[in-house]
Structure 1
Amino acid sequence: MVWFSYHGGHSGEFCAHATSTLEEVVDTAIARGFTYYGLSEHCPRYREEDLYPGEERLGVTGLAAAFEAYATHAIAMRNARAGQIELLVGFETETLPPDGWLKAMAQLRAAHPFDYVVGSVHDICGRWVDYSATATAALTADLGGPEALQLAYFDAVTNMVETLRPDVVAHLDLVRKYEPAGFTFSNRVSRAVKTTLEAIRATGGVLDVNCAAFRNGYGPVYPLPQILEQAQTMGIRVTLGDDSHGVQTVGVGLEQSLAAIAAAGYRRVSYLTRADGWREALLDTIGPRKC
């Protein structure tokens, strides 16, 4: 059996909106039977206006120092725990600052021996898409309505995929986080989603089937069933992401991700190894390792 997640591993040690130490997160992954576990801490942000609430005490300089400490600590743990679990060390990107994000992410990628990169979009022109329902509603109104917001978001994701070419594409339809139960995208937005999927296929990216939406009460796992079904027909690979932010969420909800993957028609799920790159596992061979 193989058990894996590549989007998550955030810890309160290096992320202000997470809990637990990185060591506690890793030890929990081992205890919960993971054979491969990805650590993908959030990248630093480079402008004061881009800080999450609660990060003011660190500031831009403190965030950069925290990220450097994360990279050093995570790589050391990757080596120290090698006999118990295969840790893969990466980071989660931002499209910030709006005019210089690509250069900033490329510099981070080159600065340490990372195993992979998780490509995420959380903002539109420097305004958060997913931080709070109130902030998202204000952004939606300023852009001219939900469809305009969604089109801008998927355009940003497409651009991120085509230019950064991340290994894993995170929570593809994050923009629908605060939509009501039963939500579906309009035909126009669905065409934009297809363009994004085509970019993922063209660049060889792997789609994060992320259980955080389900776990936190925001509808099905990311992405929606119809998007997963379309990805499957296009031959786009998928992997698992628990989007954990502390020991309490390590691996929690991944069964729903697997169920969504199976329902979309997939028979195999991709997992990343340090020695051999991406490999594939049949659905019935995926699950926690028995102690």
Structure 2
Amino acid sequence: MPHSHHSHSGQFCKHAKGLLEEVVVEAIRQGFKVYGLTEHVPRYRTEDLYPEEAGMPLNEIASQFDRFLDEAHRLKAQYAFAITLLVGLETEYITDTDLDYLDALLARHGPRIEYVVGSVHHVNGIPIDFDRPTYQKALHSLGPGTEAAATQEAFLSSYYDAQYGLLQRFRPEIIGHLDLCRLYDPGLSISNYPEAQKKMERNVLHAIEYGALFEMNAAAFRKGWDTAYPGRDVVEFILKHGGRFALSDDSHGPDAVGLNYHRLPEYLRTMGVEEVWYLKRSDVANAAGRRVQPTRLEGDWSDHVFWRGRSADD
């Protein structure tokens, strides 16, 4: 303790800032003991590139990820005296092709990819977390001309179906921002959309069954939420069925390392989260065949020295 399982750097992610080494050094300065380095996997179609990547050849996008792995493992060795770095990746699921390429990527790099953050950022091939107009485009692409409730139901269901496909195929160790689908409407109650709720619950139960951890992602606070991802209703369902939580800052540069972590203890306590878990290297393969296992933080997580004196400036 403390831990984060999800991060990015401007060196290997065009919408982030700073060098990967600067992220690591800042994590050490703040007292992190386990920190995950998880750049996005490459995208494989020109139409899937973000505006800041315009003009980048697809082979450069792919080689950028390979360079990330090289640098992450260099830093893992260089700073082993001060911090445990885990090297992983964050998934994309835009079309089925992304999953086929991810299969090949994992096979090619083998144990160099120690774990997977399973995330979905698109619905119907359209980004849902880039900006509100693009989110609206994704929402209405599924139900043009239909009533608002039906459109929202279709949108949420599509998101959770994609997430389920990802979980089934790759069994990610960390479930990334499980309810990102309501990023621009944090007050939305999934229970108002019965089919979508069934799909969300199916996904949670499947992830619990194979042993995943659900990230408590502090990035939601900087997006204007009064909770982390996931929101209260989803956390309640996860806890009811014995799910386990790990912490993530989802930082996009050194300035965002540990950002809003000072707000996590109150949220976790309010929700009744009594245990915090993290990933640890293991000689025993997990359900996905990778050699990390969930480990419970011993003692009272909320009494750890890391939380004392943390403020909005940290």
Aligned with residue 212 of structure 1, among 216, 219, 223: 219
SS at 1:58 equivalent? coil
Give the alignment of 1:86-105 within 5 angstroms: 86-96=84-94, 98-105=95-102
* TM superposition score normalised by structure 2: 0.86
Q: Which residue of the partner structure matches residue 5 of structure 2? A: 6
Larger deviation, residues 194-203 vs 260-269:
260-269
SS at 1:30 equivalent? helix
- Cα distance in 2 between the residues matched to 1:111 and 1:119: 19
Q: Which residue of the partner structure matches residue 278 of structure 1? A: 294
Shift of 1:16: 0.3
Shift of 1:289: 8.8
Confirm or deny that 1:248 pairs with 2:263: no
Report if the CA contact (8 A) 2:213-2:246 is conserved.
yes
Once the two structures are superposed, residues 162-217 of structure 1 have per-residue CA deviations (whole angstroms, 9 ceiling, x without a partner) of: 111101010000010111x6332214132222111112112211101111111221
Shift of 1:56: 1.8
- Cα distance in 2 between the residues matched to 1:248 and 1:190: 36
Report if the CA contact (8 A) 1:7-1:39 is conserved.
yes
Percent of paired sites with the same residue? 35
- Cα distance in 2 between the residues matched to 1:289 and 1:140: 39
Aligned with residue 173 of structure 2, among 167, 174, 178: 167
Q: Where do 5+ consecutive residues of structure 1 fail to align?
A: none
Q: Which residue of the partner structure matches residue 245 of structure 2? A: 238
- Cα distance in 2 between the residues matched to 1:43 and 1:248: 23
Aligned with residue 50 of structure 1, among 48, 51, 57: 48
Larger deviation, residues 31-40 vs 107-116:
107-116
Larger deviation, residues 69-78 vs 202-211:
202-211
1:137–1:187 CA distance, 2 compared to 1 (3 A): closer
Shift of 1:107: 2.0
- Cα distance in 1 between the residues matched to 2:12 and 2:257: 16
Report if the CA contact (8 A) 1:171-1:208 is conserved.
yes
Aligned with residue 27 of structure 1, among 13, 25, 33: 25
Alignment-mate amino acid for residue 205 of structure 2: E
Once the two structures are superposed, residues 76-106 of structure 1 have per-residue CA deviations (whole angstroms, 9 ceiling, x without a partner) of: 110110001000010101113x132222112
Q: Which residue of the partner structure matches residue 260 of structure 1? A: 267
SS at 1:268 equivalent? coil
Shift of 1:285: 4.8
Shift of 1:219: 4.3
Larger deviation, residues 280-289 vs 262-271:
280-289
Q: Which residue of the partner structure matches residue 156 of structure 1? A: 162
- Cα distance in 2 between the residues matched to 1:103 and 1:182: 35
* TM superposition score normalised by structure 1: 0.93
1:218–1:136 CA distance, 2 compared to 1 (3 A): same
- Cα distance in 1 between the residues matched to 2:57 and 2:271: 43
Once the two structures are superposed, residues 95-122 of structure 1 have per-residue CA deviations (whole angstroms, 9 ceiling, x without a partner) of: 13x1322221122223331221101101
Q: Which residue of the partner structure matches residue 140 of structure 2? A: 141
Q: Where do 4+ consecutive residues of structure 1 move more than 6 Å?
A: none
Q: Which residue of the partner structure matches residue 188 of structure 2? A: 183
SS at 1:239 equivalent? strand
- Cα distance in 2 between the residues matched to 1:287 and 1:122: 35
- Cα distance in 2 between the residues matched to 1:135 and 1:274: 39
Alignment-mate amino acid for residue 211 of structure 2: G
Shift of 1:236: 1.0
SS at 2:189 equivalent? coil
Report if the CA contact (8 A) 2:124-2:142 is conserved.
no
Report if the CA contact (8 A) 2:213-2:294 is conserved.
no
Report if the CA contact (8 A) 2:118-2:167 is conserved.
yes
Report if the CA contact (8 A) 2:160-2:203 is conserved.
yes
Q: Which residue of the partner structure matches residue 72 of structure 2? A: 74
Task: Count the aligned residue pairs.
Answer: 286
Shift of 1:30: 0.2
SS at 1:252 equivalent? coil
